[in-house]
């Protein structure tokens, strides 16, 4: 795995070292996991945003209209 170096403020590095000790892991693994998690969250946000664009472009109306239609359909089934 390629290595990357960067600088951190002393207080941040101290907090990372403490957290790594508490989790019984290395600082580098803690940073790697955090970065991967953040990237996954960004990917999820983008997917959600794209999904909402598709839903809005489908012309389903407002939430209230969709809910009213769904409720009416449920009542018709009973």
Residue 17 neighbours by CB under 8 Å, 6+ apart: 27
Does residue 44 sit within a domain?
yes
Confidence grade of residue 78 (pLDDT, cut at 50, 70, 90): low
In a domain, 50, yes or no: yes
pLDDT at 70: 80
Mean pLDDT of the chain: 89
> Nearest CA to 31 among 23, 42, 43?
23
Please report whether residue 4 resides in a domain: no
Q: Judge whether 66 lies within some domain.
A: yes
Q: Name which residue leads in pLDDT, 32 or 1.
A: 32
Position 69 scores a pLDDT of 81
Q: Which of 29-33, 43-47, 50-54, 61-65 has the lowest mean pLDDT?
A: 61-65
CB 17 within 8 A of CB 28: no
Number of domains in the chain: 1
**Does residue 1 sit within a domain?**
no
Is 2 part of a structural domain of the chain?
Answer: no
């Amino acid at each position: 795995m390629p290595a990357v170096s960067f600088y951190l403020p002393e207080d941040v590095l101290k907090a990372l070292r403490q957290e790594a000790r508490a989790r019984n892991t290395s600082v580098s693994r803690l940073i790697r996991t955090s970065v991967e998690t953040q990237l996954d969250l960004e990917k999820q946000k983008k997917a959600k945003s794209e999904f909402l664009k598709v839903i809005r472009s489908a012309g389903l109306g407002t939430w209230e209209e969709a809910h009213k239609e769904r409720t009416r359909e449920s009542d018709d089934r009973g």
